[in-house]
Chains A and B, each alone.
Chain A
Amino acid sequence: MSTDLHTLSGAYALHALSDEERAMFARHLEECEACRDEVREFEEVVGRMGAGEADVPPVSLRARVMTAVDQHPQLPPRVPPIERARSRRWTTRLTVAAAAAVLVIAGAIGVAELQGDQGSTVPSAGVAQVFHAPDARIETVPTSNGGRLRVALSEESGRMAVRTDALRRLARDRVYQLWAVHNGRATSVGVVHDLATGKVMPIPASGTTVAITVEPAGGSPQPTGKPIVSVDPSAV
């Protein structure tokens, strides 16, 4: 990445980038440890600058906040719910899927959009955009073959994204393939051609899990093996 991009760290920490630039820089951050360190330091600096503005809020606000808090459950920590989701959903649903008739619901989960992803920097920015959405919920999920998948959901934008750069590298003739699994039916969401790119997709309907399997190069019409990971978006 260019040094030119690196100099955006100040504007980034000041929240002074446009949404597009923010997403682009966020993606750069994932690859640049020095930049992450610098942003972290800057965030501490501007946080202190902000704290210097301390001003006592009206007493009534405290009760308002506590009431709001009582109406909203806390989100669960990142890994455990996914682990549960994996063992429960996949085993009960996808084993059925293997025997089930193949129902291609192309479009339902934005296949065309996903395939348009490849080989350009735009979709990666899309992935970063979901990860850095103000309302993003992010999970890191271990895979059964020793890698990690990062998942982000942004209800506001209606999008879900996965970062695949921490997945295990595969032999040349194998690829990772994403599936939407609903009522025992698996629909291909696309093949991951470049682990660095990730995928962005509309948030699947309730009851649909997103799973990844290892497939022969080019992908398969239906999963040929057990998933290495399965994510229930509603548990993210």
Chain B
Amino acid sequence: MSEVGLRLVPDRGPGDVDTLMGLVARGDRTAFEALYDALSSPVYGLARRVVRDPARAEDVTQEVFLEVWRQAARFDRDRGRAKTWIMTITHRRAVDAVRRSESHRRQEDRAVTDEVVTEDPSERMIATEEHDAVRTCMETLTDLQLESVRLAYFNGYTYNEVATLLDKPLPTIKTRMRDGLIRLRDCLGGHR
């Protein structure tokens, strides 16, 4: 949708992430440093939110930027913005890290619901416009949509695990996740 508009009228200043990505794809180390400076906070912040442990969040951040550097020439611009691509890599790696380390605990201990639900998401965040827009839009979700999306995205649970945690049928959780994201998408479309 608006993605197309973004590409037709791109914000291509020298520090623009997509521009930097194009330079990094050609091996430009200076551009890579600028890319790191532009995105290390969102990458590290998301990694830390998911894996929780700051040292492991640093490891994930390093893995992400290394992958970005290695794969830069293969980044497919037609598939979306560079920032989205990098955040997708970050989330995937953070979730992988958390699943690797927590798989044992989770198999044996399903009583993590309390810890998860009572966690205050605003604790460690730094104020950003992005955050304000996202927070405003998250308020438009139903409780179950919000909880499903948050448990999956910020805690790295599979939708199966989310269903168990919230004691709801699988299809319900599956559709709540999708409906929640549709609502977020439509709301954020007006908060660009």
A residues contacting B by CB (< 8 A) are: 4, 7-11, 13-18, 40-58, 61-62, 64-66, 68-69, 72-78, 134, 137-138
20 more A-B residue pairs beyond the given contacts A4-B171, A7-B171, with a C-beta to C-beta distance below 8 A: A9-B178, A10-B175, A10-B182, A11-B178, A14-B152, A14-B181, A43-B88, A45-B181, A46-B87, A46-B88, A47-B83, A50-B153, A53-B49, A53-B125, A54-B125, A57-B41, A58-B54, A66-B36, A69-B65, A72-B66
| Cβ contacts under 8 Å, B181 to chain A | 9-10, 13-14, 42, 45-46
Q: Are A65 and B134 in contact, CB atoms less than 8 angstroms apart?
A: no
Nearest A residue to B162 by beta-carbon distance? A16
Per-position binary interface string of chain B over residues 93-121, scored 1 when its CB falls under 8 Å from any chain A CB and 0 otherwise? 10110000000000000000000000000
6 smallest CB-CB distances across A and B, nearest first, come from A10-B178, A55-B45, A47-B87, A10-B177, A57-B44, A16-B152
Nearest B residue to A46 by beta-carbon distance? B153
CA distance A216 to B128 in the complex (A): 63
The residue that A69 contacts in the complex, of B69, B88, B157, B160, with Cβ under 8 A, is B69
| Cβ contacts under 8 Å, B124 to chain A | 55
Q: Are B25 and A77 in contact, CB atoms less than 8 angstroms apart?
A: yes
Q: Are A15 and B45 in contact, CB atoms less than 8 angstroms apart?
A: no
**Residue B21 at the A interface, CB < 8 A?**
no
Jot down 19 A-B pairs with beta carbons below 8 A, ordered by A: A14-B149, A14-B152, A16-B159, A43-B84, A46-B88, A46-B91, A47-B83, A50-B42, A52-B125, A53-B42, A54-B46, A54-B130, A55-B44, A55-B124, A55-B126, A56-B40, A65-B65, A68-B62, A69-B29
Q: Are A10 and B45 in contact, CB atoms less than 8 angstroms apart?
A: no
**Residue B1 at the A interface, CB < 8 A?**
yes
| Cβ contacts under 8 Å, A138 to chain B | 74
A137 CB to closest chain B CB, in angstroms?
8
The residue that B158 contacts in the complex, of A16, A46, A51, A66, with Cβ under 8 A, is A16
**Residue B92 at the A interface, CB < 8 A?**
yes
Q: Are A43 and B80 in contact, CB atoms less than 8 angstroms apart?
A: yes
A120 CB to closest chain B CB, in angstroms?
24
CA distance A9 to B177 in the complex (A): 9
| Cβ contacts under 8 Å, B179 to chain A | 10
**Residue B56 at the A interface, CB < 8 A?**
no
| Cβ contacts under 8 Å, A57 to chain B | 40-41, 43-44, 57-58, 61
B105 CB to closest chain A CB, in angstroms?
18
The residue that A17 contacts in the complex, of B3, B57, B159, with Cβ under 8 A, is B159
The residue that B131 contacts in the complex, of A7, A53, A61, A75, with Cβ under 8 A, is A53
Q: Are A10 and B1 in contact, CB atoms less than 8 angstroms apart?
A: no
Q: Are B91 and A15 in contact, CB atoms less than 8 angstroms apart?
A: yes
| Cβ contacts under 8 Å, A14 to chain B | 149, 152-153, 159, 177, 181
Nearest B residue to A75 by beta-carbon distance? B70
Q: Are B185 and A75 in contact, CB atoms less than 8 angstroms apart?
A: no
Q: Are A40 and B133 in contact, CB atoms less than 8 angstroms apart?
A: no
Contacts A14-B153, A46-B153, A68-B62: A52 and B93 contacting too (C-beta < 8 A)? no
The residue that A40 contacts in the complex, of B3, B57, B125, B178, with Cβ under 8 A, is B3
CA distance A138 to B75 in the complex (A): 11
A231 CB to closest chain B CB, in angstroms?
15
**Residue B23 at the A interface, CB < 8 A?**
no
The residue that B58 contacts in the complex, of A16, A49, A61, A77, with Cβ under 8 A, is A61
Nearest A residue to B39 by beta-carbon distance? A51
Q: Are B73 and A76 in contact, CB atoms less than 8 angstroms apart?
A: yes
